[in-house]
């Protein structure tokens, strides 16, 4: 039993989804705390009377800022190698920091209850209880946001789009979920499409910039190089180094070059859309 728990705690924890949703999660977290404190008035908050609304606004703002900064810091470090155990440890540490910041700015609350600096442990019990509730809330909300995002992507993947040539005299109609990549050669763009008989190339007189304007509603399609547009749903591997990265797909043999303006971290995010 203990060995199973140990193995579970060593499993990697996907923080990328939380970081990509950091603004939405932080805003909802601050709003949740504000509403929760006003409705339930826990920890004898009803004694604040006319100061309650102002106090809860302050707590709502702080409980938006603190997790947002928390996610921002995580974004700058190598969080992808973290396990569930690491995340739990960090969360407990975060709750202490979170509680201290809320306690520090709880002037009217401390005055009414005559709390001094030695009584932080009392306030910590209050704020950590609220933090645990709000963390569960954030986990549920993030899961819902991921589901909505997947549903949206699955829906638009089924779209059939018509792309026009530069002079609008020619066009090509393709299923967006079959498009692997587009490359440019002179004044012509080549579309590489997955079909039942293999990869098919369709040529249209156009520029990549003009093509991009026609497919702006598809977040998983982006320009990775001055000569290439890719469908990130087909690519799952990054090779090379800082001098030059390449994207690989098991659908095609050739590697797609990446502009030096795109860093590896940015590429990893784009491929996980």
Lowest mean pLDDT among 32-41, 79-88, 216-225, 235-244: 79-88
Report pLDDT for 243.
79
**Host H or E run for residue 241:** strand 237-241
Q: Name the band, by pLDDT with cuts 50, 70 and 90, for residue 263.
A: confident
- Mean of pLDDT values over 203-209: 88
pTM to 2 decimal places = 0.61
With tokens 């829906």, the residue in question is 155
229 Rama sector, left if φ>0, alpha if ψ -120 to 50, beta otherwise: beta
pLDDT tens profile 155-201: 666 677 888 887 778 888 888 888 999 999 888 899 999 888 888 99
Report pLDDT for 242.
74
Lowest mean pLDDT among 111-120, 133-142, 167-176: 111-120
Lowest mean pLDDT among 15-29, 37-51, 223-237: 15-29
Give the DSSP per-residue string, 49-110: GGGHHHHHHHHHHHHHHHHHHHHHHHHTTTGGG-BHHHHHHHHHHHHHHHHHHHHHT-HHHH
Lowest mean pLDDT among 81-85, 104-108, 216-220, 222-226: 81-85
CB of 188 closer than 8 Å to CB of 197:
no
Q: What is the mean pLDDT of the chain?
A: 82
For the chain, first and last CA: distance in Å? 36
Helix, coil or strand: residue 232: helix
Kindly report the number of other CB atoms within 10 A of residue 79's CB atom. 19
Report pLDDT for 132.
79
């Amino acid at each position: 039993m203990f060995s199973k728990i140990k193995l579970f705690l060593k499993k990697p924890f996907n923080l990328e989804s939380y970081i990509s949703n950091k603004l939405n999660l932080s805003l909802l977290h601050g709003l949740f705390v504000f509403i929760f404190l006003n409705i339930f008035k826990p920890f004898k908050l009803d004694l604040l009377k006319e100061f309650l609304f102002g106090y809860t606004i302050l707590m709502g703002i702080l409980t938006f800022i603190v997790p947002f900064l928390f996610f921002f810091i995580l974004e700058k470090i190598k969080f992808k190698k973290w396990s569930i155990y690491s995340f739990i440890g960090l969360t407990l540490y975060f709750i202490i920091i979170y509680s201290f910041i809320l306690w520090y700015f709880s002037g009217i609350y401390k005055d009414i209850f005559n709390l001094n600096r030695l009584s932080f442990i009392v306030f910590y019990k209050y704020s950590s209880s609220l933090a645990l509730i709000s963390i569960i809330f954030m986990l549920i909300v993030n899961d819902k946001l991921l589901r909505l995002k997947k549903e949206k992507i699955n829906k638009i993947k089924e779209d059939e789009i018509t792309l026009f040539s530069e002079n609008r005299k020619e066009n090509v109609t393709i299923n967006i979920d079959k498009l692997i990549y587009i490359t440019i050669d002179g004044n012509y763009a080549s579309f590489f499409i997955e079909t039942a008989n293999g990869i098919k190339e369709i040529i249209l007189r156009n520029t990549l910039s003009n093509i991009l304007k026609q497919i702006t509603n598809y977040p998983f399609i982006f320009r990775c190089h001055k000569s290439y547009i890719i469908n990130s749903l087909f690519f799952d591997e990054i090779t090379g180094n800082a001098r030059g990265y390449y994207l690989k797909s098991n659908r095609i043999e050739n590697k797609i070059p990446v502009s030096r303006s795109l860093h590896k971290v940015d590429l990893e995010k784009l491929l996980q859309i």
